[in-house]
């Protein structure tokens, strides 16, 4: 099977994008408030995953930097969620 510990940031982001796209069908049935809450939960979940990988000492410094960059990108694209 696929070793999740060795997944690359690019592959993970592509996979995560697929998951978000699959959720699009479910979102059509939701109210705007439900959509917003679901989106925020998904984004925060990805952010936590990326932050954990960024601090994973078993990964190369370069890979940790890429995970850190992915987390920062989420912060940048979703300032309302991270400026508490």
- Closest alpha carbon to 50 in 21, 9, 20: 9
Whether the CB-CB separation of 42 and 20 falls below 8 Å is answered with yes
Q: What is the pLDDT of residues 1-38, one digit of tens each?
A: 444 556 677 777 777 777 777 777 788 889 999 989 98
Q: Where are the domains of the chain?
A: 29-84
Quote the pLDDT of residue 4.
Answer: 52
Quote the pLDDT of residue 26.
Answer: 80
Three-state SS for 84?
Answer: coil
Average pLDDT over residues 39-52: 93
* pLDDT confidence band for 62 (50 / 70 / 90): very high
């Amino acid at each position: 099977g696929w070793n999740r510990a060795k997944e690359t940031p690019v592959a993970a982001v592509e996979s995560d994008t697929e998951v978000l796209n699959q959720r699009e069908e479910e979102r059509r049935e939701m109210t705007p408030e439900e959509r917003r809450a679901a989106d925020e939960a998904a984004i925060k979940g990805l952010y936590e995953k990326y932050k954990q990988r960024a601090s994973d000492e078993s990964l190369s410094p370069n890979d940790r930097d890429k995970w850190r960059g992915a987390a920062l990108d989420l912060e940048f694209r979703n300032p309302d969620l991270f400026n508490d």
